[in-house]
Amino acid sequence: MADEVLRAPLVLEYPFTRTTGAVIGAFLTGLREGVVLGVRRSDGSVMCPPLEYDPITSESLSELVPVSTTGTVQTWTWNGAPRPQQPFSRPFAWAMITLDGADTPLLHGVLVDGPDQMRTGMRVQLEWRPQREGHITDIAGFLPAAESATGSPGAVPAGVEEVRSVRTPIRMEYTYTPGRALSQYLRAMKDRRILGDQCPETGQVFVPPRGVSSIAGKATLPDLVELPDTGYIESFNITRVPIKMRPDLTPPYVSAWIVLDGASVGFMGLGMNVAPEDVRVGMRVRAVWKPDDELEMSAQNILGWEPTGEPDEVIDDYSRVGRLQGAGES
């Protein structure tokens, strides 16, 4: 029976900050001040929201004109369950809305209780968020309005501070699965064993395994090979400044390419129990493992690599790395 597939959540998130330039900045400034701006195109029509170029001809645009806060729904769909990042807390309708005074629609939400309250051609009124910062979500959404409702274009007060950047955070959730070869490697890691996979043509051994041999352009052999937790340093870096991703590491520390005995390629590991100035290319090292009761299915089981005290590996060609041959031939 096949082992259950290894899975782990992977969240990618970042608070992107975008500089806006004059036109997007003016539109967002307007939103903060409770005014909606469009931009005039060369045919005299008004596009809202505005861009610094005409999206059909690419010619530059700059003449901003206020438009109304009332408008007409051009098309719509129902969003029954708001997704986590959508700025709406309850079911709503997506709609393309042409504001009075503009000739092209913008995308936003219409805050109604159900799809039966939506129809193409309906009139809507912009609903401002009370606290505004210069962001498309300064518009809380649109509400149904009377057929005859008309807003009036406002004007951005003179002298207000212009919006120059906008924060657009992104968060995406994935389920990571490591694949065939790496899963076997991770399972063995839990038992304090290091596995590599082997090129079917050259016998080269790759640690961690990759599932394919880049030399042959073929899948590696299905049976992985076990390697000792000893090897040598084929080159190294000394990081002398702290890095954000590893707050646990105090500079200076050594990150070294470790070539295990029987492996054909190196991988990056942390130097341990040795002063950076004493690390040498060719130095023999062995793994420093986490205590047995803390072992997981993770490469993090190996805390780092410490000198064995054996004589250094002899390196006769500094340009080439790893070994041409694989396990059993070394």
Partner 1 sequence: MTVGSQRAAVLGVGQTKYDTTYPGSMAGMLREAATNALEMSALGWDDIDAVIMGKAPDFFEGVMMPEVYLAEALGCVGKPIMRVHTAGSVGGSTACVAASMIQSGVHERVLTIGWEKQSESNAMWALSLPQPFATSVNAGAGGYFSPIIRRYMMMTQAPELIGCMVALKDRRHALANPYAHLHQSDLTFEQVVESPMLWDPIRYSETCPSSDGACALVLGSETVAEAHAGPVAWIKGTAMRSESGSFGGRNMVSPAASEACANDVFAQAGIHDRRKEIDAVEMYVPFSWYEPMWLESLGFAEKGEGWRMVESGATSIDGGDLPVNCSGGVLSSNPIGASGMIRFGEAALQVMGLAGDHQVDGAKTAVGHAYGGAAQYYAMWVVGSEK
Partner 2 sequence: MIDVAVVAFAQRQEPRIDTESEVEFMVPLMNEAKDAVGLTQQQIGFTCSGSSDFLAGQAFSFVMTIDGTGPVPPISESHVEQDGAWALYEAWVKLQCGEVDTALVYSYGKSSPGSLRDVLATQMDPYYVAPLWPDAFAIEAMAARLLLERGVVSEQQLAEIASRSRAHAASNPHAIRTTPKSAAEILAEDYAVAPLRPSDLPASADGGAVVVLAAGDRARDLCERPAWIRGIDHRSDAHTLGVRDLTQSMSARIAAEKAGVGTDRVDIAELHAPFSTSEAVLSTALGLGDDTVINPSGGAQAAHTMMASGLIRIGEAAQRISRGEADRAVATATSGPCLQQNLVAVLEGE
Q: With beta carbons less than 8 A apart as the criterion, state whether 102 and 47 touch.
A: yes
Q: Which is nearer to partner 1, 19 or 89 (CB)?
A: 19
d(C-alpha 36, C-alpha 105), whole Å: 13
Q: Which is nearer to partner 2, 177 or 298 (CB)?
A: 177
Q: With beta carbons less than 8 A apart as the criterion, state whether 27 and 156 touch.
A: no
Shortest Å distance, C-beta 327 to partner 1: 11
107, 143, 324, 328: which one contacts partner 1 (CB under 8 A)?
324
H or E, element range at 24: helix 21-32
Closest CA to 245 of 233, 258, 255, 234: 255
Eight-state DSSP code of residue 114: S
Our finding on whether 14 is near partner 2 (CB under 8 A) is no
Site for partner 2 in 21-50 (CB under 8 A): 24, 28, 47, 49
Q: How many residues bind partner 2 (CB under 8 A)?
A: 65
| Separation of first and last alpha carbons in the chain | 35
Question: Which residues pair with residue 17 across a beta bridge?
Answer: 167
Shortest Å distance, C-beta 283 to partner 2: 28
Site for partner 2 in 172-201 (CB under 8 A): 172-183
Eight-state DSSP code of residue 271: B
d(C-alpha 197, C-alpha 227), whole Å: 10
Q: Of the listed pieces 101-109, 223-231, 281-289, 321-329, which binds partner 2 according to CB under 8 A? A: 101-109
Q: Of the listed pieces 64-72, 135-143, 267-275, 300-308, which binds partner 2 according to CB under 8 A? A: 135-143
Site for partner 2 in 194-233 (CB under 8 A): 210-219
Our finding on whether 116 is near partner 1 (CB under 8 A) is no
Site for partner 1 in 168-197 (CB under 8 A): 168, 170, 176, 178, 182, 186
d(C-alpha 168, C-alpha 142), whole Å: 21
Our finding on whether 264 is near partner 1 (CB under 8 A) is yes
